[in-house]
Structure 1
């Protein structure tokens, strides 16, 4: 397993998605509201279509396919690339819910995300591997 890099995301471009795990997806005009409770994790997944997101509350920590860690704070916007080459997970290491507004570019009724196995070098318990 290689060394992990930790970066703080800058507006306007990086990424997030949603899959299985402790999270709630609610349809709102022109997109979805994603809520990840404290301690919640999306699980490893990818998206078929590009997503655009804004963090409305809380701090989202993402682990990307290459095990890079990205931190997204309220007010940051980012883009989530599509495809199996962009698997990732998101989790909430904070004490307040993470709230995201996500605008997927996909047809109505299309699966929001596709669960996938962890990338090489990551464990299924990766959400517990990254302290505050």
Structure 2
């Protein structure tokens, strides 16, 4: 099973090797999607966790016990097809190729299953056709 979560670390736990502990203690693989972590600051990590459902739940509870705020990601990228001009600028910043231009029609294609909601496409869109549902 996979779960995407946002972790918010208090200043005192930023130094902890969380992804190492997830793998070693809970047999949970952690794919880091986005990270903003610095010493003596609140840290944020968007991460996709993979593993057995019971191990995932135990890992999430362990992180909560360390005062790490765990939020399940329910956001999705939305594209206003009426506003989109199919310029393709968003395809250049999409790390998973969820956004591509059809080589024959030059229309924007969005493959939702590839999207990791990194939001890099949102500020890139010149006509503000891309947003999130939250």
> What TM-score comes out, normalization by structure 1 length?
0.30
> What TM-score comes out, normalization by structure 2 length?
0.30
**Structure of higher CA gyration radius:** 2
Identify the structure with the greater helix proportion. 2
